[in-house]
A and B are shown apart, each in its own frame.
Chain A
Amino acid sequence: MVRTSTEGRQQQGISFLLIDMKSPGITVRPIIMLDGEHEINDIFFDNVKVPVQNLIGEENKGWTYAKFLLSHERSGNAGIGACKRALQQLKDIAAEQPSNGKRLIEDVRFRDRIAQVELELMALEITNLRVLSGYAKDSKALGPEVSMLKIKGSEIIQLLAELKMHALGHDALPYVREALDIEWQGNAALNSHYGAYAPPLSGQYFNNRKTTIYAGSTEIQKNIISQMILGL
């Protein structure tokens, strides 16, 4: 998104450009996340030339396109599938981790925390379907209801990541840099005292703090709900 006009409202002078990353004048500076992961960058543009035909849609309409894309991003952020996967992994870990001579899942205090997040996920799955079926019926673009899905989905995935980390006990402490690689299969020396699944989990917790911040923070989403749905 680039500013192509300073006239009218702030949102009006924005355009979408498709820019070849090999263009002269582009510098990319990696930004390392708190878990050691590299998934974001600073991109600097120094007099980069972009062909006219790389303009997406109409000039100065970029914000309209962006809002459309963002609403889909938000509904996707409910992330029901990813949450279900994470919940199952959490249950598997809790069934395996020892705790006071029993399995962690048998510890009522921990089991209830799993149960609580599962309740929230059960409700969100139906709320998600209700929102989508409502839009499908009226053939409308997604509206402000997706903000609810984004808030709840991001909170649930964070909570699941937190519980997975806590399920490990002391095994949550070691930092294994290679574990950031998605292909990583574990390491025999380390696995002797904890499972191959353990090393990435604390990092996932740290990394997932982003979910309530990106795609419009929880606070922005609540502003949208209170203005667009509640009329406050």
Chain B
Amino acid sequence: MEFDYTEEQRALQDTLQRFISRDYDFDKRKTVLRSEAGFSADAWKQYAELGLLALPLPEDLGGLGGTAVDVMVVMEQFGRGLLMEPYLSSVVLGAGLLRDSASDAQKRKLLPEIAQGNIKVALACYEAAGRFDPAHVGCSAVAKNGGWQLSGRKSVVLDAPSADYFLVSARSGGKESDRDGVSLFLVPRQTQGLTVTGYATQTGARAADLSLEDLTLGADALIGKAGEAMPGILWAVDRGIAALCAEAVGVMDALNKATLEYLKTRKQFGVAIGTFQALKHRMADMLMAAEQSRSMAIIAAVQADSRNPRERSRAIAAAKAYIGQAGRLVGQQAVQLHGGMGVVDEYIVSHYFKRLTMIDITFGDVDYHLGRFSDTLLTA
């Protein structure tokens, strides 16, 4: 069995590591964090040149035909470098969903543009009343004059302030939590009736709430078949979760590296604090948590492309629930072991900790995914 990255994947990893140390170190990241957009347009351009934005897209549309494991390589480095750009939103979720659900004409129009970095897409599939369930859709879509009229609200749409298009789920049939009856629409940012209220998130990346008031769209705004969008949306979200798991593994490795370094250099009572057994054992626990998490992220990446929704969803839920808990341990203990240095903004450790914490909450926390996994035991 093969668990190491391929030669190509290692080359991709090296490229990103070099990029981070040369163009995206902690100081550079601080300036990105303080900028208006909350991400670096320069970096985005470089990702396009490196082919990262084309990675999971089909080869006949300017993509590289990469797998979820290739995406894992990228996301792990996004974690290590705490990169702020909307890769997850635009490439993994947005482009991934278009690739699977859009018509050929829609794909030809949008995917090459995404791959080249000219447009960005954000997925708007969560609503406040639905908490972590993408199938809870209160937003309505009514067929009208040969097109569609949408009304409703979408909450905490990641990277929405910089998106050129939104992929919006809306109900064209069925009841609020039905899996059937949900349709997906491509909504250009400038559409009349769409209000985007943006804000910063805990990690500095931007998000927005969307308000749709009698928003009028043409027939060609519909992605896929009316009322049948949910399986595609759930698959896209599962891929997004696998990507988040990989990112979390990158963060955990980086946090453990920083903490180990600190244990070896910080002195107390005349000796390095890493000589104290209580701290040695804590560090051993953190290492085990990170290694077990990597195993779970591998399971998630391998299953993310699976066509069997039951098997896929079970593996993804397992990985997210496990990594949420492991990330909490590694994050909290890294801060604890750094003492005062762990709770200041000027050192990278607190930023890693915040990212791990927010990854846990994004697209469903430990309780949500543990429940999702646990419920599969009823039918096993």
Contact = CB atoms under 8 A, between A and B. Distances in A.
A91 B263 CA distance: 43
Interface in A108-124: 108, 111-112, 114-116, 118-120, 122-124
Contact of A222 (B2, B264, B281, B373): B281
Contact of B378 (A106, A118, A226): A106
Interface residues of A, number: 37
A219 B281 contact: yes
Interface in B1-59: 1-4
Nearest to B322: A119
Nearest to A129: B1
B6 to A, nearest CB: 14
Given A111-B378, A226-B280, A123 B287 contact: no
A232 B287 contact: no
A111 B284 contact: no
Interface residues of B, number: 37
A123 B284 contact: no
Interface in B324-377: 370-371, 373-375, 377
Contacts of B279: 232
A227 B284 CA distance: 10
A151 interface: yes
Contacts of B292: 120, 123-124, 127, 152
A96 to B, nearest CB: 14
Contacts of B370: 112, 115-116, 119
Contact of A230 (B4, B283, B318): B283
B3 A130 contact: yes
B288 interface: yes
Given A230-B260, A232-B283, A114 B296 contact: no
Contacts of A115: 321, 370, 373-374, 377
A126 B319 CA distance: 12
Given A127-B291, A129-B1, A223 B280 contact: yes
A225 B1 contact: no
A229 interface: yes
Interface of A: 91, 105-106, 108, 111-112, 114-116, 118-120, 122-127, 129-130, 133-134, 137, 148, 151-152, 219, 221-223, 225-227, 229-232
Given A118-B318, A126-B299, A231-B264, 6 more contacts: A112-B371, A120-B322, A122-B296, A122-B322, A133-B1, A137-B4
**Top 5 A-B residue pairs of the complex, sorted by shortest distance between their CB atoms:** A126-B295, A226-B280, A115-B374, A123-B292, A225-B284
